[in-house]
């Protein structure tokens, strides 16, 4: 299995879990944050959807120019954006060739390069970052009054499949 095949396979397994976690957020509590330094639940959920959007840019242009954008007002809007962007990424990954996988990529914030690596490394690193942020978001759900969905196995709220 190539690294690209691994990424495609892993995304097929992870994306439904991302959607379950996003849908588990109680709508009326999106301003919840466990600490003043932490992102709100809406900001953290939107980060996941927006990261998928920036991956489309990476696959189309070879780079990401990160610009913070405010979160939509509803869980439904965040979920819809996540699903739309993830589908675009998945579609583009199916046509990605080995040359593009190895091509240099840049991640810019405020016009400054903060990460440079081969495109494939950035794609895999991004998935790890998103899983990390999904884990953060899961720690918000129960204090917000929601139920934590099963991720890799049962949670205290969801026995899983």
DSSP string, the chain: --HHHHHHHHHHHHHHHHHHHHHTS-GGGTT--SSTTSPPHHHHHHHHHHHHHHHHHHHHHSEEEE---PPPSSHHHHHHHHHHHHHHHHHHHTT--HHHHHSEEEEEETTEEEEEEEHHHHHHHHHHHHHHHHHHHHHHHTTTT--PPPSSS--SS----
- In this prediction, residue 125 has a pLDDT band, given cuts at 50, 70 and 90, of very high
Number of domains the chain contains: 1
Q: Is residue 150 part of a domain?
A: no
Q: What pLDDT score does 111 carry?
A: 92
- CA proximity to 149, closest of 84, 54, 98, 79: 79
Q: Per-residue pLDDT averaged across 77-83, rounded?
A: 98
- In this prediction, residue 17 has a pLDDT band, given cuts at 50, 70 and 90, of very high
Domain span including residue 61:
3-141
Assign residue 120 the CATH number of its domain: 1.20.120.450
Q: What pLDDT score does 40 carry?
A: 98
pLDDT single digits (tens) 27-67: 999 999 999 999 999 999 999 999 999 999 999 999 999 99
Q: Is residue 147 part of a domain?
A: no
Q: Is residue 151 part of a domain?
A: no
Q: Per-residue pLDDT averaged across 88-103, rounded?
A: 96
Q: Is residue 112 part of a domain?
A: yes
What are the structure tokens assigned to 61, written together? 């242009």
Q: Is residue 17 part of a domain?
A: yes
| pLDDT > 90 in the chain, percent | 99
Q: Is residue 81 part of a domain?
A: yes
- CA proximity to 134, closest of 19, 54, 9, 31: 19
Q: How much is the mean pLDDT over the chain?
A: 97
| pLDDT > 70 in the chain, percent | 100
Instruction: Tell me the whole-structure pTM to 2 decimals.
Output: 0.96
Q: What pLDDT score does 138 carry?
A: 97
Instruction: Give the N- to C-terminal CA distance of the chain in Å, as an integer.
Output: 27
Q: What pLDDT score does 161 carry?
A: 74
Is residue 120's pLDDT more than 80?
A: yes
Q: Is residue 102 part of a domain?
A: yes
Q: Is residue 59 part of a domain?
A: yes
Partners of 104 in the β-ladder: 118
């Amino acid at each position: 299995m190539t690294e690209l095949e691994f990424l495609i396979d892993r995304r097929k397994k992870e994306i439904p879990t991302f959607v379950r976690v996003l849908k588990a957020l109680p709508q009326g509590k999106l301003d919840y944050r466990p600490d003043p330094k932490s992102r709100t639940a809406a900001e953290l959920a939107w980060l996941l959807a927006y990261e998928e959007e920036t991956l489309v840019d990476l696959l189309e242009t070879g780079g990401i120019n990160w610009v913070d954008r405010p979160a939509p007002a509803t869980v439904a809007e965040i979920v819809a954006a996540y699903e739309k962007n993830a589908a675009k990424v998945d579609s583009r990954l199916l046509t990605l060739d080995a040359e593009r996988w190895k091509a240099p990529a840049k991640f810019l914030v405020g016009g400054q390069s903060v990460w440079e690596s081969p495109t494939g490394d950035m794609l895999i690193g991004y998935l790890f970052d998103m899983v990390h942020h999904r884990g953060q978001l899961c720690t918000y759900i129960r204090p917000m009054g929601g139920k934590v969905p099963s991720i890799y196995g049962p949670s205290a709220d969801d026995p899983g499949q």
